[in-house]
Amino acid sequence: MSIKPANAKPEEPLSKERLRLWLKLLKASNLVEEEIRRRLRARHASTLPRFDVMSALSRAPEGLKMSEISKLLRVSNGNITGIVDKLTEEGFALRVSVPGDRRAHQVCLTERGKSAFAELAAAHESWIDEILGGLDLDDVLGMIQRLDHLTTSLGDH
Amino acid sequence: MSIKPANAKPEEPLSKERLRLWLKLLKASNLVEEEIRRRLRARHASTLPRFDVMSALSRAPEGLKMSEISKLLRVSNGNITGIVDKLTEEGFALRVSVPGDRRAHQVCLTERGKSAFAELAAAHESWIDEILGGLDLDDVLGMIQRLDHLTTSLGDH
DNA sequence: TATTTTTATTTCAAGCTTGAAATTTCATGC
DNA sequence: GCATGAAATTTCAAGCTTGAAATAAAAATA
């Protein structure tokens, strides 16, 4: 929390600067995201949502319940249903029934899913390294620090 | 462009940090964006795409062609068709035929569209000011500078 | 002029996303 | 046991988005 001294300048410019920051943040984020989507589609016939779900699953060898996935990725339940359907059709994921609960399913990556994701993840990391290649360590650490500050302050909402 | 000295340390940690930066950037951006979408829907029965198109139109009193809008917003032509259709149904925008060219249309805000946008824009600006309220001027200017650096380096792609 | 190419836009299918409603199952309290 | 409410998931309608194909009109060229 920043303290506003009694003799502060009018706040107006700060609010304009915040707006300017948001527009730039959105633009940068969208530029990178679009490039990643484009490459996933063109080079791997995949999509970002599918990648995100596989990424979550790859970190949970014993699988995740639908609701756990949607909580992790901060998206709706119905959304995950559709994406897991797709991954299942493609042979990358599997719904396994949970012993004690006939409502729930654990979703796991198949062997094929695991190896496909390993490939995707490696490509993804190298794309990011390439796309953000113009940033040196100082830029990167500086932005990470500011973003942590931002995310913390967003968490209060 | 950063020069890599002959005796540089292995690049691996930098690439990991770039990936970390990207994940944080995406997360922060999505958090803010979701909040804006939520408020546009709940408080103004509107959406971010509609707001973006109105915003572009509001800066062009003489109107914009469909293709100009899609270029400005960096989205597909077909997308703009649908959004302008919506705005037209809602009475916020108007397609005006271009004298010399029967293919093209100028899209303009109606008076109702202008006043609706003025209200939306004011709300939007105050939301951003509130949501980014945890950032002081130093944070804001620091991030803007880093983001400019990033966007410039992205432009090379 | 007639043909070809380019430009402006729309249409379309496929996919993602949400929030709300519907289902099914589980857990709790009576 | 039985009813009630909570939880896990799916279904659904509406909207956004894209890239590709279709239209239509203008411009360029032969």
Domain boundaries, chain B: 41-145
Residue ranges, chain A, pLDDT below 70: 1-12, 156-157
Rounded distance, CA B106 to CA A35, Å? 30
Rounded distance, CA B3 to CA A60, Å? 40
Q: For B154, which of A17, A31, A143 is closest by C-beta distance?
A: A31
pLDDT (tens place) for every residue of chain B, 157 residues total: 445 455 554 555 889 999 999 999 999 999 999 999 999 998 998 999 999 999 999 999 999 999 999 999 999 999 999 999 999 999 999 999 999 899 999 999 999 999 999 999 999 999 999 999 988 899 899 999 999 988 888 775 5
The number of helix segments (H) and strand segments (E) in chain A equals 6, 3
Q: Domain A42-152 is of which CATH architecture?
A: Orthogonal Bundle (1.10)
pLDDT digits (tens, 9 = 90+) for A9-25: 555 688 999 999 999 99
Rounded distance, CA A42 to CA B128, Å? 35
Cβ of B122 under 8 Å from any chain A Cβ?
Answer: no
Strand D nucleotides within a 7 Å radius of protein CB atoms: 7-13, 15-21, 24-27
**pLDDT confidence of residue B11:** 53
Q: CB of residue B95 closer than 7 A to nucleic acid strand C?
A: yes
Token pair 């650490």 is at which residue? A141
Give the three-state DSSP class for B102. strand
CATH topology of domain B41-145: Arc Repressor Mutant, subunit A (1.10.10)
Cβ of B61 under 8 Å from any chain A Cβ?
Answer: no
**pLDDT confidence of residue A157:** 56
Rounded distance, CA A136 to CA B86, Å? 44
Residue window 25-44, chain A: list those with CB within 8 Å of chain B: 25-35
Show the beta-strand stretches assigned E in B1-130.
64-65, 93-98, 101-109
Strand C nucleotides within a 7 Å radius of protein CB atoms: 7-13, 15-21, 24-27
Q: CB of residue A131 closer than 7 A to nucleic acid strand C?
A: no
Q: CB of residue A57 closer than 7 A to nucleic acid strand D?
A: no
